[in-house]
Amino acid sequence: MVVLSQPVALDNHISVIPTYTPVPVFTSQPIPVVDLTDPEAKTLIVKACEELGFFKVVNHGVRADLMTRLEQEAIRFFGLPQSLKNQAGPPEPYGYGSKRIGPNGDVGWIEYILLNANPQLSTPKTSDVFGQTPQIFREAVDEYMHELKEVSCKVLEMVTEGFGIEPRDTLSKMVRDEKSDSCLRLNHYPTAEEEAENMVKVGFGEHTDPQIISVLRSNDTAGLQICMKDGSCWVAVPPDHSSFFIIVGDALQVMTNGRFKSVKHRVLADTRRSRVSMIYFGGPPLSEKIAPLSCLVPKQEDWLYKEFTWSQYKSSAYKSKLGDYRLGLFEKQPLLTHMSNE
């Protein structure tokens, strides 16, 4: 495991980080594990997406040394003096950020780098991130994003196979598109100070991911939790630096007409060890129309969601608070029959 040689002090322009009074968190709830080389993987993936919206994949084909190298280079960046890191921020939305998550007042015990996966859409802040680091960082980022795109597409193609959908690339073609609006987020949760008794510091507040699919990998520090579909409890996810965790996004929930649920998740800061996570968000092109797939829901009157473009949804999500239910604005309202009293 790679760790920072000394604690990192986050930019102190925000003094109040939210805390939680811990609620019962279940550690016995098993997280589904899917071996991507298993002939039954497609069936297991669909089942996991329907039941939990979250699962772990093993035998994914991404080299361990690539994952370790990117983690090392990310830690090297986060270990830079704050003045140098600030040159790559604030994020717009790409670049370096500290404590502030988005433009609407959400904060957490976190610093991060957000990078667009499309090299044609490079921004000055992105260039500033790489300007503070050796070339090996950019090379590791590029190779990692390429590999994670393949993992995302492989999983999405197994989803279509599990549903019996043709063509096989119905979902994956949106992520493979040269105009795909995918991105990579590198998160660093420094060791948190001890809080008052029975309180824990929030690293990243509860939220869902707006894209189609997220592929997460972290070091061996705990903190990630997912919420059960019925909202009854939170489940602690045991870390595993050699595997990936797949998260169903809002767009995939819409395209399956709610058959898959975008899982709510959060990260709580650890008082003993820092956490580093790397998440690839597989998104469609900005102009892509998102709606329930006609092969799953042939009649539009059975759609639970209105059609929208990814650009419209992304813009709406960017204006919302982290924990807002963003899909609510795009749900179709049931037709009501009003009886006249006249």
Catalytic residues: 275
Alpha-carbon distance of 267 to 275, in angstroms, equals: 10
Rounded CA separation 270/281 (Å): 24
User: Could you give the angle at which helices 41-51 and 135-163 cross, rounded to 10 degrees?
Assistant: 90
Which of 164, 193, 266, 180 lies closest to 224, judged by CA? 266
CA–CA distance, 88 with 26 (Å, rounded to integer)? 39
What single-letter amino acid sits at 173?
A: K
**Minimal CA–CA distance to 170: which of 158, 187, 182?**
158
The amino acid at 155: V
In contact, 79 and 174? CB cutoff 8 Å: no
Q: How far apart are CA 236 and CA 131, in angstroms?
A: 37
Amino acid at 141: V
In the structure encoding, which two tokens stand for residue 149, read together? 């795109």
